[in-house]
Amino acid sequence: MTGSAPTRPTGPVMPGDRIGHRPLHFMWVIDASGSMSGTKIESLNTAIREVIPAIQKEADEWPEVDLSVAAIVFSNGARWLGSGFEPISSYRWAGVTANGVTDMGHAMNLVAEYLRDNMPERAIPPVIVLMSDGQPTDDFSSGVQAVLAEPWGRKAVRLAIAIGDDADQEVLKQFVANPERPVILASNPEQLVQAIRWASTTVTKSVASGRSKEGTDLDPAIPAPPPIPKDPQDKVW
Amino acid sequence: MSDADSAPGTADDPREQRWFHGWGSARGPSHIRSDKPNQDSVKVSSVQVDPPLGQTFIACVADGHGSATAYRSDKGAQFAVEIAGAVVAGALEPGGDVGATSPGPDWAGAPADAWASLVETVAKQICSKWVERVEGDIRETEDARAGLGAGNDSGPDRTGTDSTVDAPDLRAYGSTLIVGILADCGVGVLQIGDGDAIGLFSPQGQGVRAERLTPPDPRLMGNATTSLSLPDAAEDFRHGAWFTASGPGGLPWGVVIATDGFGNAMVSDDALHATVRDLVEYASQDGQDEPGWVSEWLETNVARFSGDDASMVLFWRAASHTSSAPGPEPG
C-alpha cells in the first residue's frame, strides 16, 4: 500500500500585502543660498552624487530595512527637491543651484510638517542632515522648535554640517540639540565630501542595522564623526 | 466565552473549554549577521488554582535590547521570564503573596480589584528580583573573570563599559517583559516596554475583533523602549484585564503575546491584527496543543522582514476534548 507522506503543519499562509520592511527615512536639508554658489554647491552636488551608490551598496546589506531618501533645499523659501521621498534604489541626484537668502526656518517647518503627518508608527528613527554655510534670514527658532516639538523630530538622528567658517554653528547646534553630537565643520571640498559620506553612509548604516533599544529618554547611539583638523592648512572656505 | 459563537474552536459550554497554546522564537537576521544570540526569551507554565481561576497559564515573553550597551541582554531576558513566571505563580497559588491577605482576592465577585492587587504586588516583585538576579550575575561573572583572567567576557572588553559589583550596570541586561495570565474566568496582561499583546473578541453577532490588551505608551517609538533596567521600572508597567464577569464578549477567546520583532514586520496595525486572527484561527482549527510550526513560521514569515528576533506565544480557548492535554512546559 502506498500513500503520500503526512504533511506537517506549517502555519497559516502570510498574505504578502501585510508584510513590510521597516521604513527608514533619510533627509538632506540643504542651504542653497547665494553664499553657497561656486565651489561649495559644486562640492556638495558632487559629494551627494557620489555617495548615493555607496548608500545603495550599504542598503543591500540590510535588506530588512526600506530606506528612502529626500532632500529639502532652502534659499528664498524652502521646497522639496523632486517628488519627495524615493526608494534609495531608484534615487538620482539632479543637482542644486545656489542663489537667494537663507530661509532655514522655512525648511525646518517643512521637516516638522512631514514628521507630523507622514511617519509610520513602526518606523526606524529618521536621519536628518542639515548643511549650511551661513546664518538664517528668517525665523529659524520657531522652525527648529516645530521640529523638536514633534515626537519623531525628537527621536530623529539630527546631524549638522557647517560649511566654512561663516556658518552659524550655534544655530546648527540648536537643530542637533544634543551636546554629545558636535556640528561637523567642513573647511574645504574634501572635508565636505568626507562629512557627507559619514552622515549618509556610516550613520545611516548604524541606525538601519541597529536594533538597539535604550531608555526612552536617550538618543540613538551613532558612530563618531570623521576626524577633521581644527585648523587645516588647506582651508578654502 | 459563552458568547463566542462565531469563533472557531470554541464550544457552547464554557465549562467544557480550556486554554490551548503554542509558542516559538526565531533569531533575527541582524543578530545572525553580528553573531549574537537570540535576545528573546519565552516561558509558558501553568498552575492549578481554585475556581474561578482553574488551570491558569502564565506566559512570559521578554526581549533583550541587544545594543552595545545591553551586551548581556539575552541573559536579562532569560532572567525576566524565569522570575516573572515564578512570581506570578507564587502570587496565584493558595497561600501565595496575593492570596495571603485576608480576606483574599475575590476573583469571582470583584475580579477587577483582585487584578489590581495582583498587578501592584507582582510588578514590584518582578523588578526587585530581576535587579537582585542581575546583580548576582554580575558578581558571578566578575568572579569568573577574576579566576580565568580578564578578557573572557565579551561585554566590558567590547564596549568599554565596566560592570562591577559595587556599581552594577543594569543596562547591560536591559529587557522588556510581557506577562499574560490566562485563567478560566479571565485574561490579564502586564507589560513593560514594547511588543504586542493582542486579544481576539467575538461579541455576539459582531464577528471577530482584535484589540490590544494593554494601553499604548507614547514613549515607545523608533526603537526606544521602557525597560526593566530603568529606575522605577515597576511604575512603567501597564496592564489590562478582562473577565467573564464583564458579560458577553468580555473575555478574549484568542490571545497573542509577541516581541516587537513580530509587529515590526507588519505594514500596519490592521495587518498585525489580521495576522493574529489568522494565526489563532489556524492553530485552533489545526487542533494540536503546543504545535511545532511556530518558530519556523516566525523565521520564514516575520524575522526576515523585521530583521529582529521574533518570539510569540499564542493561546486559544477551545473545547477540552479537541486536543490533547498540555505537555511539559517549554524550556
Within a domain: B67: yes
pLDDT tens for B131-189 read 999 999 999 988 777 776 544 444 443 333 444 444 458 999 999 999 999 999 999 99
Please judge whether B307 and A21 are an interchain contact, meaning their C-beta atoms are less than 8 angstroms apart: yes
The x, y and z cell numbers of residue A159, run together, are 546631524
Note whether A212 contacts B67, CB cutoff 8 Å.
Answer: yes
Question: Using CA atoms, how far apart are residues A159 and A168, in angstroms rounded to an integer?
Answer: 14
Q: What is d(CA B157, CA B150) in angstroms, rounded to the nearest whole number?
A: 9
Q: Tell me how close the Cα of B125 comes to any Cα of chain A, in angstroms.
A: 21
User: A32: how many CB neighbours lie within 10 A of its CB?
Assistant: 28
Q: How do strand B196-201 and strand B254-258 relate by DSSP bridges?
A: antiparallel
pLDDT digits (tens, 9 = 90+) for A120-145: 888 999 999 999 999 999 999 999 99
d(CA A134, CA A160): 13
Looking at the 3D structure of chain B, how many domains does it have? Answer: 1
Query: Could you tell me which of B86, B87, B61, B45 has the C-alpha nearest to residue B329?
Result: B45
CB-count exposure of residue A48 (10 Å: 0-12, 13-18, 19+)? buried
Chain B nearest C-alpha distance from A118 (Å): 13
- Number of Cβ atoms within 10 Å of the Cβ of B155: 21
Residue type, B319: A
Q: pLDDT tens digits, chain A, 237 residues: what are they? A: 455 565 667 888 888 789 888 999 999 999 999 999 999 999 999 999 999 999 999 888 888 899 999 999 999 999 999 999 999 999 999 999 999 999 999 999 999 999 999 998 889 999 999 999 999 999 999 999 999 999 999 999 999 999 999 999 999 999 999 998 999 999 999 999 999 999 998 888 888 876 556 555 556 677 888 776 556 667 788
Q: In this prediction, does ipTM exceed 0.85?
A: no
Residues 6+ apart with CB under 8 A from A231: none
Tell me the HSE value of A158 on the side-chain side, using a 13 A CA sphere. Answer: 23
Please give the domain boundaries of chain A with CATH numbers for all domains: 21-209 (3.40.50.410)
Residue type, A204: T
| Amino acid (one-letter) located at A120 | P
Return d(Cα B199, Cα B272) in angstroms, integer.
12
Q: Is A230 on the interface with B (CB under 8 A)?
A: no
Interface check B296 vs A, CB under 8 A: yes
> What tens digit of pLDDT does each residue of A74-104 get?
999 999 999 999 999 999 999 999 999 999 9
| Residue B94 covered by a domain | yes
Within 13 Å of residue A149, how many CA atoms lie on the same side as its CB?
Answer: 12
The CATH number of whichever domain residue B310 belongs to comes to: 3.60.40.10
**Residue range(s) defining the domain that contains residue B269:** 14-322
The H or E element that residue B196 is part of is strand B196-201
**Residue in B closest to A156 by C-alpha:** B222
CA distance B312 to B297: 11
Q: Which of A 166-225 lie inside 8 A of B, CB atoms?
A: 209-216, 218, 220-221
- Please indicate whether, in this complex, the C-beta atoms of A155 and B171 are within 8 angstroms of each other: no
Give CA–CA dist B266/B306, Å, rounded. Answer: 8
Distance from CA of A213 to the nearest CA of B (A): 5
Q: E strands, chain A, where?
A: 22-31, 65-75, 77-80, 86-87, 127-132, 157-163, 184-186
Contacts of A63 in chain B (CB under 8 A): 29
